[in-house]
């Protein structure tokens, strides 16, 4: 397979997040989501006005890029002025203040996404900004120094985490003030001479010390403020709790990016199999990717005591993998290590890391649990990387993504025919395409998926994915007991696997066991505090079914805040409003459904999202019709 060549470009990157977001959510979740949605729309509008584009907006963060630094800074000033005006009408404890960082840097573009140190530095600038403030890097400042008027404070050269050289940082205090920086900037000629001398010295030292470098084992640790139990967004579990943060890729090699992603996923999966641990889902931990890691903030937002972080570098023919296990409550590093290994040894290394974590956290395991954790599935690096890339395409949940995912999973199976995971993944594609009506024959897709899932289970009876997928396929045929039995088996094999838990909850909700579904959805959302949109959307249906209609409204609104352009939560919101007799709100929700999908009909929608009970399906169709949606 030909290596993918990525586009590179120079961009002005704007990174923004909410100061004190966890506190706002703890105080009033619905109000915070409503304000965040409103403010995010305002920011997106301002970005477009200054010829920029929003790249991503996970959680309380927003990333945008501009062709011009001048436009990025003007946009930042406009955003902060507009938000300040909005905040004046809110109580002091409900005001939502954003921090903004701006950098000019080289980025890799992959589709609509951008990656690289250019993005990372912008995130570091954001973390240095005050609430309602703007910080820019030296590269950005140089572009606006003689083009804009602004108040300015030079913060000096700052050493920021995971960036190899210090960055000049400037705090901007507003457009139009025409004020010099309060601290004189560094003389660039002197600075350049110093940097060249330092670089030569560094090269000499590096050449002399290269041999010793490969045997050096203890990575540097950075002091941090301990997390507070009182500030936790969620109560701490009664067993050791941990989040595995995305391993950082310190190279420009896309293959190493897949490698780092796969390492993070497999470590999370292995630890999730331990019944003595509470492990945050990878989907929540991934929201911190590319951002400066504030251990205190991570622990408090996710409600965990321990954090595992790491990085991947390439040196000659070896990979350098750095790992740190941190006790966020005590402000200490429990274990740090640096491994220089050939890429082919990664699987043994993963087991070694998992073993260290379990020992440090004093988790007691039965012999059977230990065996499940150690099981790797494949020793074929090519197959492993192809499966990781395929999963990235699968979770796009588009027809094009499924086509590409199938190609990659098939290639992974060819690379290692004895590995069950690609077969179970291919079965998942058959299930999803049959569910969406994308297959030429729904029945043939279901049968194909069942054959593949059974083969995967036979090859590895301890892996949960085959049971999950086979259960989903049985659900499509309406075989409730068999579907639930298989999903329970998957959840039992991986009690911390959020997909296994949420999938079981979905099947229970679909087959008349909504009370148990409610409890499992709540468990899943605790495992993944930064969960995907479909969790609160499906949870809302379960809440509606058990009669908690007002709670269902809140849950649907959370889903809409996470995924505003998906029809599912809007359609069910229209139904619950109709059930509550809130006519105007039900009609407004229905209008949004039609705007998103002009061909929407309640009948076709419930056929795709059936509750496998004609009476309940008819009830929801009737409520949608009352809201004004076509049948």
- How many residues are listed for the chain in this entry? 631
In whole numbers, what is the pLDDT of the chain averaged over residues?
84
Residue 303 pLDDT greater than 80, yes or no: yes
Q: How far apart are CA 486 and CA 161, in angstroms?
A: 45
pLDDT tens readout for residues 403-421: 999 999 999 999 999 999 9
What's the whole-number mean pLDDT along residues 32-61?
Answer: 89
Higher pLDDT, residue 427 or 356? 427
Higher pLDDT, residue 292 or 557? 557
pLDDT tens readout for residues 186-212: 333 333 333 333 332 333 333 333 333
The pLDDT value recorded for residue 371 is 59
Percent of the chain with pLDDT over 90: 45
Cα 142 → chain centroid: 33
β-pair type (62-66, 7-18): antiparallel
The pLDDT value recorded for residue 265 is 86
What's the whole-number mean pLDDT along residues 182-188?
Answer: 41
Secondary structure (3-state) at 627: coil
Q: Backbone phi, then psi, for 184, in 5-degree steps?
A: -65, 135
Residue 269 pLDDT greater than 70, yes or no: yes
User: Residues 576, 553: contact at Cβ < 8 Å?
Assistant: yes
Catalogue all structural domains in the chain, each as residue range(s) with its CATH number: 7-182 (3.30.70.1230), 229-374 (3.40.50.10070), 380-494 (1.25.40.10), 516-631 (1.25.40.10)
What's the whole-number mean pLDDT along residues 603-627?
Answer: 92
Residue 12 pLDDT greater than 60, yes or no: yes
Whether the model clears a pTM of 0.85, i.e. scores above it, the answer is: no
What's the whole-number mean pLDDT along residues 503-527?
Answer: 93
Nearest-CA neighbor of 486 among 506, 515, 505, 466? Answer: 466
User: Residues 333, 224: contact at Cβ < 8 Å?
Assistant: no
CA atoms within 13 A of residue 344's CA, in its CB half-sphere: 2
pLDDT band with cut points at 50, 70 and 90 for residue 376? low
pLDDT band with cut points at 50, 70 and 90 for residue 3? low
What's the whole-number mean pLDDT along residues 238-260?
Answer: 85
The pLDDT value recorded for residue 264 is 87
pLDDT band with cut points at 50, 70 and 90 for residue 25? confident
pLDDT tens readout for residues 461-478: 988 999 999 999 999 998
**Which value, to the nearest 10 degrees, does the dihedral of the CA atoms of residues 474, 479, 482, 485 take?**
90
Residue 237 pLDDT greater than 70, yes or no: yes
User: Residues 345, 317: contact at Cβ < 8 Å?
Assistant: no
- Beta strand residue intervals within 186-343, DSSP E: 241-244, 248-249, 278-279, 306-315, 318-327, 332-341
Burial class of residue 292 in the structure, from the number of CB atoms within 10 Å of its CB (0-12 exposed, 13-18 middle, 19+ buried): buried
């Amino acid at each position: 397979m030909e290596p993918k060549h990525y586009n590179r470009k120079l961009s002005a990157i704007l990174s923004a997040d909410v100061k004190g977001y966890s506190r706002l959510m703890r105080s009033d979740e619905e109000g915070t989501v409503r304000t965040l949605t409103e403010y995010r729309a305002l920011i997106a509008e301002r970005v477009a006005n200054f010829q920029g584009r929003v790249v991503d907006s996970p959680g309380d963060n927003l990333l945008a890029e501009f062709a011009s630094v001048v436009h990025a800074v003007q946009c930042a000033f406009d955003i902060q002025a507009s938000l300040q005006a909005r905040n004046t009408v809110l109580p002091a404890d409900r005001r939502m203040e954003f921090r903004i960082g701006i950098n000019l840097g080289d980025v890799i573009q992959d589709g609509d996404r951008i990656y690289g140190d250019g993005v990372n530095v912008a995130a570091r600038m954001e973390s240095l900004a005050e609430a309602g403030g703007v910080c820019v890097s030296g590269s950005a400042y140089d572009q606006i120094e003689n083009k804009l008027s602004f108040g300015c404070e030079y913060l000096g050269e700052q050493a920021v985490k995971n960036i190899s050289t210090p960055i000049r940082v400037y705090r901007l205090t507003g457009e139009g003030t025409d004020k010099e920086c309060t601290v004189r900037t560094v003389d660039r000629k002197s600075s350049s001479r110093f940097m060249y001398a330092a670089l030569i010295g560094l090269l000499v030292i590096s050449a002399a010390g290269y041999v010793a470098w490969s045997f050096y084992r203890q990575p540097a640790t950075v002091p941090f403020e301990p997390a507070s139990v009182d500030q936790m967004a969620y109560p701490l579990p009664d067993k050791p709790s941990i989040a595995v943060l995305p391993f950082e890729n310190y190279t420009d090699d896309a293959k190493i990016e897949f490698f780092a992603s796969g390492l993070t996923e497999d470590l999370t999966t292995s630890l999730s199999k331990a019944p003595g641990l509470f492990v945050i889902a990878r989907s929540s931990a991934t929201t911190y990717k590319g951002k400066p890691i504030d251990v205190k903030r991570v622990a408090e937002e996710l409600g965990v005591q321990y954090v595992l972080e790491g990085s991947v570098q390439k040196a000659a023919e070896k990979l350098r993998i750095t790992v740190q296990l941190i006790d966020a409550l005590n402000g200490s590093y429990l274990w740090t290590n640096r491994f220089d290994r050939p890429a082919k040894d990664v699987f043994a290394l993963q087991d070694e890391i998992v073993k260290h974590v379990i020992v440090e956290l004093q988790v007691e395991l039965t012999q059977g649990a230990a065996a499940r954790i150690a099981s790797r599935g494949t020793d074929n690096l090519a197959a492993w990387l192809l499966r990781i890339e395929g999963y990235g395409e699968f979770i796009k949940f588009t027809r094009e993504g499924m086509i590409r995912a199938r190609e990659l999973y098939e290639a992974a199976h060819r690379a290692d025919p004895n590995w069950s995971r690609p077969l179970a993944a291919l079965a998942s594609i058959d299930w999803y395409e049959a569910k969406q009506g994308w297959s030429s024959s729904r029945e043939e897709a279901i049968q194909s998926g069942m054959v593949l899932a059974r083969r995967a289970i036979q090859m590895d009876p301890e892996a949960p994915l085959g049971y999950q997928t086979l259960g989903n396929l049985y659900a499509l045929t309406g075989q409730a007991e068999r579907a639930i039995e298989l999903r329970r088996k998957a959840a039992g094999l991986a009690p911390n696997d959020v997909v296994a838990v949420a999938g079981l909850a979905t099947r229970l909700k679909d087959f008349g066991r909504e009370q148990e579904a409610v409890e499992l959805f709540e468990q899943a959302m605790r495992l993944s505090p930064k969960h995907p949109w479909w969790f609160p959307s499906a949870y809302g249906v379960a809440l509606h079914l058990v009669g908690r209609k007002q709670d269902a409204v809140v849950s649907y609104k959370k889903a809409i805040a996470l995924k505003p352009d998906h029809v599912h939560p809007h359609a069910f919101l229209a139904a619950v409003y109709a059930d509550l007799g809130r006519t105007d709100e039900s009609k407004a929700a229905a209008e949004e459904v039609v705007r998103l999908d002009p061909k929407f009909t309640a009948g076709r929608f419930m056929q795709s999202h059936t509750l496998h009970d004609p009476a309940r399906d008819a009830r929801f169709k009737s409520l949608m019709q009352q809201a004004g949606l076509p049948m």
